[in-house]
Amino acid sequence: MTMREWAQKNRGEPLYKMFTGNEYAFTMFVLMNFKGPWKQAWDFHQENNNVPKAEKDKFAKYSVMTKEDAEEGGQDEIAMWEKYMIVKPRFTNTKKVRCRESVTDEGMAFYYRHYSLWQEFCELDETDDRRVKFHEIWDQADHEMELSAKVMRRKRKRNDDKSESSNSAMPPLPSPDTVVLPNQDGFDDYLKTMSEKYALDSTSWD
């Protein structure tokens, strides 16, 4: 059953009631396991303007360097390598083939702990203070997400409107029968006329 189908069938119910203990625990496991790598990937992403290019260049250099390479460069290189080395997932070892073998004991304990917490939470009475507080937090987060989605839709609409306005403001292109090709008589005069009419840089025609 999809979330839309569940929501239609259970109108008025918060979406979290759709989740099972396994789904909640697995989601928490993935978020905690990859929190470090995801943060590092964004910190040095080319679209992240909050980090200077010099820092991104250092990350690009040292993140692919081996420890042996860093040791050859001395203590300063080792320090830089340790600062920019790739952050690994917290609970998994990617060298293992089977899923269960790739998860550490700490990861399994984290998973089962959150599974148990979710089961205990779902057994609480609706009037329990802990459940009431969770409802308040959930409703607030849900409201904020709706507002964020509205803002993003408005931004996309403004960008689309600007794009349409920009396109409509462009001068019409000459019809094919009026175009003079470079190997035809009168091309120099034609190029000069088009450059003046459309404010073109004639060097781009070379």
Average pLDDT, the chain: 79
The domain boundary residue, chosen from 109, 125, 141: 125
pLDDT tens string 169-198 = 554 444 444 544 545 566 566 555 655 554
Report if residue 147 sits inside a domain: no
**Percent of the chain at pLDDT above 70?**
75
Residue 126's Cβ-side half-sphere holds a number of Cα atoms within 13 Å equal to 3
Query: How far apart, in whole angstroms, are the C-alpha atoms of residue 183 and residue 200?
Result: 20
For residue 137, what are its two tokens? 């937090």
Mean pLDDT of 125-154: 84
99 and 194 co-located in one domain: no
Range of the domain at 184: 176-200
pLDDT tens string 25-70 = 999 999 999 999 999 999 999 889 999 999 999 999 999 999 999 9
H or E element at residue 35 = helix 21-43
Query: How far apart, in whole angstroms, are the C-alpha atoms of residue 150 and residue 156?
Result: 10
H or E element at residue 139 = helix 129-169
187 and 103 co-located in one domain: no
- For the chain, where are the E strands, in sequence order? none
112 and 184 co-located in one domain: no
Report if residue 96 sits inside a domain: yes
The domain boundary residue, chosen from 90, 125, 160: 125
Residue 174's Cβ-side half-sphere holds a number of Cα atoms within 13 Å equal to 13
